[in-house]
């Protein structure tokens, strides 16, 4: 322990390191860590591929795909904030993390989860305007307005989690420094403190509402409005076409929110074994970022067409280069 000083007449003790406990006596746990390495590799390749396609194909330089690009970026960074450090800790038995690194890890994990959540909300807004106000869509949802919205998301996330993590620094850790989680999770960390943690608990509730419940409620309201708009479409073919534009987004929403919310509800209402909580939380944070680019690639017509265009262009450039090389040799 390191003595720091006093805060509100309370002596503060900060640990040099925290110990990330991870699993309790789980057999063959290393196979799980290797599986996560595979998940991370697919996540990096898939999201980098989607970002590359959007960047290279000019027809995708629209407001909607600014948000899709941002979702792929936040998925990639979110997985990078969790999986490499997790695998390093438990595959190589290096479970100690310094106090400063612990706070940084806490900030970035929750920061990118927030970006993922709010980007799904932005995509719901995009679909709402596209279906309910089709004639005004290009005037309302522009690249500049989408960039501003994403900028606001970043500012809100930075402020929210700077406060959340900053409140940890007012806590004194005079007992255990063992964190019952797979990363420096906010709840397991602040519950180790000796002094009053009421403010931390309230801030945790605010963050959960901001990350999960409020965005999910707004997404649900937007799809209720979309449903009423679809009922007013007279032609069945147009209605099916409009529904297809929403299916990819709905799949992403279901994969992201339902597992996370179910875990939080179970934690708040009943006892859940730490191993079960760790596995559920880890998979809900890592599987959606891996599947998101696959879903968008397979379910989005514009991206599939853009992939074909880029492939044909690359093939044509290769043939032309080979022709030039052959002429030079001759």
Residue-wise pLDDT tens digits, 239-259:
777 777 788 888 888 888 888
CATH number of the domain residue 223 falls in = 1.20.1070.10
Structure tokens given for 292: 């998101």
Any domain includes 326:
no
Q: What's the whole-number mean pLDDT along residues 304-317?
A: 81
Instruction: Read off the pLDDT band of 1 (50, 70, 90).
Output: low
Residue-range definition of the domain harbouring residue 167: 2-299
Which pLDDT tens digit goes with each residue over 97-125? 999 999 999 999 999 999 999 999 999 99
Any domain includes 327:
no
Any domain includes 230:
yes
Q: What's the whole-number mean pLDDT along residues 181-209?
A: 90
Which of 160, 147, 273, 251 lies closest to 207, judged by CA? Answer: 160
Instruction: Read off the pLDDT band of 309 (50, 70, 90).
Output: confident
Gap between the Cα atoms of 304 and 308, Å rounded: 6
Any domain includes 329:
no
In the predicted model, is pLDDT for residue 90 greater than 70?
Answer: yes
Strand partners, 98: 17
Q: Tell me what the pLDDT averaged over the chain comes to.
A: 85
Any domain includes 313:
no
In the predicted model, is pLDDT for residue 324 greater than 90?
Answer: no
Number of residues that this document lists for the chain: 330
pTM of the model: 0.88
Any domain includes 141:
yes
Any domain includes 319:
no
Which pLDDT value is given to residue 149? Answer: 95
Which pLDDT tens digit goes with each residue over 135-148? 898 899 999 999 99
Contacts with 186 (C-beta within 8 Å, 6 or more apart), sequence order? 106, 110, 164, 168, 200, 204, 207
Q: How many domains are contained in the chain?
A: 1
Any domain includes 268:
yes
Which pLDDT value is given to residue 49? Answer: 92
DSSP state of 96: E
Contacts with 279 (C-beta within 8 Å, 6 or more apart), sequence order? 32
Which of 264, 242, 256 lies closest to 133, judged by CA? Answer: 242
In the predicted model, is pLDDT for residue 4 greater than 80?
Answer: no
């Amino acid at each position: 322990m390191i003595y720091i000083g006093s805060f509100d007449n309370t002596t503060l003790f900060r640990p040099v390191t925290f110990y990330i406990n991870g699993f309790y006596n789980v057999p063959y746990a290393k196979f799980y860590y290797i599986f996560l390495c595979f998940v991370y590799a697919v996540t990096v390749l898939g999201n980098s591929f989607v970002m590359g396609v959007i960047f290279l194909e000019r027809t995708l330089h629209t407001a909607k795909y600014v948000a899709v690009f941002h979702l792929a970026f936040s998925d990639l960074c979110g997985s990078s904030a969790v999986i490499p450090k997790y695998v390093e800790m438990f595959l190589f038995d290096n479970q100690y993390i310094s106090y400063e690194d612990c706070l940084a890890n806490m900030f970035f994990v929750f920061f990118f989860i927030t970006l993922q959540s709010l980007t799904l909300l932005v995509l719901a807004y995009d679909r709402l305007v596209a279906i309910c106000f089709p004639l005004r869509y290009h005037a309302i949802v522009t690249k500049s307005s989408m960039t501003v919205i994403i900028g606001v998301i970043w500012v809100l996330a930075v402020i929210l989690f700077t406060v959340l993590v900053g409140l940890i620094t007012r806590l004194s850790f005079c007992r255990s420094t063992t964190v019952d989680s797979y990363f420096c999770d906010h709840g397991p960390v602040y519950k180790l403190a000796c002094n009053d943690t009421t403010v931390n608990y309230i801030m945790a509730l605010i963050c959960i509402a901001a990350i999960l419940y409020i965005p999910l409620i707004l997404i649900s309201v937007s799809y209720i409005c979309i449903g009423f708009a679809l009922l007013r479409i007279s032609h069945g073919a147009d209605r099916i076409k409009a529904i297809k534009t929403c299916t990819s987004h709905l799949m992403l929403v279901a994969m992201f929110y339902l597992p996370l919310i179910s875990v939080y509800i179970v934690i708040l209402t009943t006892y859940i074994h730490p191993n079960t909580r760790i596995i559920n939380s880890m998979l809900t944070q890592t599987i959606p970022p891996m599947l998101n680019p696959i879903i968008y690639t397979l379910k989005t017509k514009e991206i599939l067409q853009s992939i074909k265009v880029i492939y044909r262009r690359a093939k044509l450039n290769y043939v032309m280069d080979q022709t030039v090389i052959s002429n030079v040799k001759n």
